[in-house]
Amino acid sequence: MDDIRRSLRALEETARAASRASTSRASTTRAAAAGGAVAAATGAAAAREASGDDLFGKDYLLTWDKRRESLELIIRAAAVLKALREAGVATRLFDSGLAVSQFRDNSTRTRFSFASAANLLGLAVQDLDEGSSQVAHGETVRETATMISFMAEAIGIRDDLYIGKGHAYMLEVAEAVEQAHRDGVLARRPALVNLQCDIDHPTQTMADLAHLVERFGGFDALRGKRVAMTWAYSPSYGKPLSVPQGVIGLFTRFGMDVRLAYPEGYSLMDDVVAKAGAFAKESGGAFSVCGSMEEAFEGADMVYPKSWAPYAVMEERTRIVGTGDRAALAELEKRCLATNARFRSWECTDALMARTHEALYLHCLPADITGVSCTQGEVAAGVFDRFRVPLYKQAGWKPYVIAAMILAAKFPDPAARLARLASDRRPRV
C-alpha cells in the first residue's frame, strides 16, 4: 500500500496547489472588474469561470486550454488509480451509466484504453457506429449527440483525419449536449474527451507525460530535460499532425528543452508552434526548430521520432475529399509518397541514439519498424526492440489518464474520492 499512500500524498498536494492557483486567479479577475456596471458584469462572469477549476464539469479537448496545475492533477490522479488497481483495490465510482465512444479513424490502443478507463470507473462502454446508426440516414449532430447521452457520463471521440474538421466536430457535439442539459432534456451533461483530433492528441501526450514523470522521478526532474520531437520516414502518407503538436504544446509547459525537427515542407500549424514557444518562456524551458535529426538528437534525454504529413498536404487532402475527386486524391498520395521517399534517411538508428544523452525512446505506437513492419521506416529494429518494454509501459498509462480525465470532470474533489476508495480498500476481485 506504500505506492497508494505516496500517490495520494502527491495528488493531495497538487490539488491544494491547484486550488490556491484558482483562488488567486479569481481574486485578480474580481479586482480587475471593479470599475463600471458593464465591466463588473463581464468580470463577474470571468470570475465564475476562473474561480471554479477547469476540470470539473468541463470537457477535455486541448491540453493548452487547461492550467498547468490541472494537468499535474490529472497525472497525479492517474497514478493513484494505477496504484489502486495494481494493489487489487476496486475503483468503481459509478453504479451505472455509459461511456460512449466514437471512432472516425482506426484505433487499437486508444479504443481499448477508453474502454478500460470506463470499466475501471464502473461505466459500461457503447461504441457509436455511424454506419449502422441513423447518422447514415442524415440525422443531425445535435440530435445524435443528445440521443446517445441520456445515461452517458462521458463521450470519447477520435476524429483526426481532416484539417479543420475534427476539433470543430467535437465542439459541435459539446454544444449540443450542453444545450440539451440547459433545456432539461439531459439530467446530467456527459463530459467530452478528445481521443485525437486534427490539432491535438491529449490522452496520448498526457500518457507520455505520466510515463516521464514516473521514469525520471517527478515533474521537477523534467525541468531542463532535452526532448527531440522529430519527423521520421514512413512508407505511408497522411499521418495526423496531432501527436507532434500535442507533444510540443504540452512538454514546453513543464520546463523542458524541446527541439522540433523536420525536413523542409513538413511544418506544423503555425499557431501551435507559437504556443509552444510562449509556453517555453513561461515555464523557463526552451523551444527551437531545426532541420535535421542529428541536431535534434544531440545531447537529448528523450527522443520521439514520428512521421506526420505536411500541414499543406493535410489541407489539400481535406479539400479534395470534400469534392469527392478520387483521381485527385490518388494523385496527391502518389506525389506525397514520392516526397516522403526523399527523406528515407530520417530514421532513428543506433548511430543517432549514440549522439544522445542515453536517451529514452518514445513513440505513440504503432511504429514503422525497419525490416519488421515495413522495408524501411521510422526506427531501426534494434532500437525499437531495446526499448520495447518501456514503450509498452508508456502505452499502459493511457487507460489511467483517460479515467483521471473522466473522474476530474464528474467529481469536484478527485483527491477526496480516491482517498475514500483507498480507505475502504474494497477488493477488486
Instruction: Please check whether residue 214 is in contact with residue 3, taking contact to mean a CB–CB distance below 8 angstroms.
Output: no
Residue 29 has pLDDT above 70, yes or no: no
Averaged pLDDT for residues 82-107: 97
Q: Is residue 33's pLDDT more than 50?
A: no
pLDDT bin (cut points 50, 70, 90) of residue 46 is very low
| Residue 44: pLDDT over 90 | no
pLDDT tens-digit readout, 187-206: 999 999 999 999 999 999 99
pLDDT in tens, 109-157: 999 999 999 999 999 999 998 887 887 778 899 999 999 999 999 999 9
Can you give the pLDDT at residue 205? Answer: 98
Confidence of residue 163 (pLDDT cuts 50, 70, 90): very high
Backbone phi, psi, residue 259, to 5°: -110, 120
Mean of per-residue pLDDT scores for the chain: 92
Of the given ranges (34-43, 108-117, 238-247, 341-350), which has the lowest mean pLDDT?
Answer: 34-43
Assess contact for 379 and 232: CB atoms under 8 A. yes
* Domain range annotation of the chain: 204-395
Quote the percentage of the chain above a pLDDT of 90.
87
Report pLDDT for 130: 86
Q: How far apart are the first and last CA of the chain?
A: 17
d(CA 173, CA 175): 5
The whole-number pLDDT of residue 38 equals 36
Residue 348 carries which DSSP code? Answer: B
Nearest Cα neighbor of 125 from 146, 156, 104 is: 156
Give residue-wise pLDDT tens across range 289-328: 999 999 999 999 999 999 999 999 999 999 999 999 999 9
Residue 1 is predicted with a pLDDT of: 67
Q: What angle do CA 315, 319, 325 make, to 5 degrees?
A: 135
Beta bridge partners of 226: 257
The pLDDT value recorded for residue 176 is: 97
For residue 2, what pLDDT is reported? 83
> What nine digits make up the cell of 169?
466536430
Contact yes or no for 105/196 (Cβ under 8 A)? yes
Q: Provide φ and ψ at 128, rounded to 5°.
A: -85, 110
Cβ distance 360 to 391 under 8 Å?
A: no
Q: For 14-25, what is each residue's pLDDT tens digit?
A: 999 888 877 666
Q: In this structure, what is the dihedral angle of CA atoms 415, 416, 422, 426, given to the nearest 10 degrees? A: -130
pLDDT at 20: 81
Q: Is the per-residue pLDDT at 283 higher than 90?
A: yes
The letter for the amino acid at 165 is K
Give residue 34's pLDDT: 46
Residues above pLDDT 70, as percent of the chain: 93
CA distance 390 to 394: 6
Answer whether residue 340 shows pLDDT above 50: yes
pLDDT value at residue 26:
57
Q: How far apart are CA 257 and CA 245, in angstroms?
A: 15
Give the mean pLDDT of 103-109. 94
Q: What is the pLDDT of residues 224-266, one digit of tens each?
A: 999 999 999 999 988 999 999 999 999 999 999 999 999 999 9
Q: Residue 417 is placed in which grid cell?
A: 474520492
- What is the distance between the alpha carbons of residues 105 and 160, in angstroms, rounded to a whole number? 7
Strands (E), 58-182: 98-103, 124-127, 152-159
Of 213, 204, 294, give the one whose Cα is nearest residue 241: 204
**What CATH homologous superfamily does 204-395 map to?**
Aspartate/ornithine carbamoyltransferase (3.40.50.1370)
